[in-house]
A and B are shown apart, each in its own frame.
Chain A
């Protein structure tokens, strides 16, 4: 079934919606760091130690991320092969720049994820499963503050989230079209998708700048 063009786009849509759900959850936890160090530590400790999250949800998430990116590249290659001779002149007015450049925004997000894994995920795995350091439920907030100390890192995070916002602006509502939802609720879905695409990335940028200035 995954062989057909429609099943591939449905797979892209479902994996994208799964990642959007994860993003909302991640944002909710991160945002607590703005107003409650204790709550942020508690939630992070739960996510970092709960076996269901650690050994089932985390691998599913990583597989989801890998699947979405690999499928995205496969689709891009197939699509480029379908028009080997291009036009010499294109007006480009019939579709948005964002919708035509999902691969570009996706690659920026992928490079951000590389840095994000290096910053948070790798030290976390090292702490817990390589060095077997003692469990410390109060360390998460300090680690967050430490990472946002560098203005270059904060700038890169912020730029990446601008591209995430662009990616979501097309991808979120587009996922519903791909799974066959185009009805009287579509305008509401589009409004929610745009609101999410602006608020969540902007919120992540706010968190990074907030801790940078505070720290």
Chain B
């Protein structure tokens, strides 16, 4: 396959970037998208040019590191996959592919296609955990009975890998799907109850402070989420937040 790539290049967070055109030939349809980027970078390095920076780590759809806005969609044209799981067979010979970083003021560009997603870490640190007494008397979690339906929903919410595709695709750059998944994975379980109120209030407060937009229920986040996190989680977080605000 021969492809034309239009890629966002930006030296650092302070410089203004631009779209730069590249041509790449002999791309195998069996390559992953990131492997295609590796091949392009090898070519750039061999020409003594600056390679394109992009985030990646596990390359098996688990870590949430890879990002990229490909042809107007986070993680590209395939559904329920991350960029590292996207294969070049999804494109046709002669295609033009537009590659941009995830755009949101809360995700500033560090270099080229790499964005700073530590805002998600700070939201997690604000309450996305269960405090456990590790003094030696820790209760075995399996001794607490949990309804199967709730356990399944909590697990589904916990599959969020925090990649930020929800923010990238939302017209308001809202982080509601991510935060609601992190709230839901606990709120459905009995272990949550003691810290439930503080968790949701603190995580939403941190989300707002990071500068994410407001959710307007367009549903784009659910469509583009590589893990299929449901909008049901946002409704659940809204309920949790309203309950906590009344108690507060």
Partners in one complex: yes
Question: Which residues does A use to contact B, with CB under 8 Å?
Answer: 1, 3-10, 75, 78-79, 81-96, 99-100, 102, 170, 174, 177-183
Q: Which residue of A lies closest to B16 (CB)?
A: A85
Q: Are B236 and A89 in contact (CB under 8 A)?
A: no
Q: Tell me whether B43 is interfacial, beta carbon within 8 Å.
A: no
Q: Which of A75, A83, A91, A99 lies at the interface centre, i.e. has the most chain B CB atoms within 10 A of its CB?
A: A83
Known contacts A88-B19, A92-B72; A82 and B172 CB within 8 A of each other: yes
Majority DSSP secondary structure for residues of A touching B: loop
Q: Tell me whether B220 is interfacial, beta carbon within 8 Å.
A: yes
Question: Which of B33-41, B58-66, B120-128, B205-213 contacts the other chain?
Answer: B205-213
Query: Can you report 7 residue pairs joining A to B where beta carbons are below 8 Å apart?
Result: A4-B205, A5-B208, A82-B172, A83-B104, A83-B105, A89-B98, A178-B215
A79 partner residues in chain B, CB cutoff 8 A: 171-174, 213-214, 216
| Candidates A1, A81, A182; contact of B232 at CB < 8 Å | A182
B213 partner residues in chain A, CB cutoff 8 A: 5, 78-79, 81-83
Known contacts A9-B214, A88-B98, A89-B71; A180 and B235 CB within 8 A of each other: yes
- Provide the bound-state CA to CA distance between A179 and B242, in Å: 8
Q: Which residue of B lies closest to A181 (CB)?
A: B235
Q: Are A182 and B71 in contact (CB under 8 A)?
A: no
- Provide the bound-state CA to CA distance between A131 and B172, in Å: 49
Q: In the complex, which range does the number of interface residues on chain B fall in?
A: 35 or more
- Provide the bound-state CA to CA distance between A9 and B234, in Å: 12
- Provide the bound-state CA to CA distance between A90 and B239, in Å: 32
- Provide the bound-state CA to CA distance between A134 and B150, in Å: 66
- Provide the bound-state CA to CA distance between A81 and B171, in Å: 11
- Interface positions, chain B 141-179, Cβ under 8 Å from A, are 169, 171-174, 176
Q: Are B214 and A87 in contact (CB under 8 A)?
A: no
A183 partner residues in chain B, CB cutoff 8 A: 232
Q: Are B238 and A100 in contact (CB under 8 A)?
A: no
Q: Are A1 and B105 in contact (CB under 8 A)?
A: no
- Provide the bound-state CA to CA distance between A100 and B223, in Å: 14
B199 CB, nearest partner CB in chain A, Å: 14
Q: Tell me whether B112 is interfacial, beta carbon within 8 Å.
A: no
Q: Are A100 and B171 in contact (CB under 8 A)?
A: yes
Q: Are B231 and A182 in contact (CB under 8 A)?
A: yes
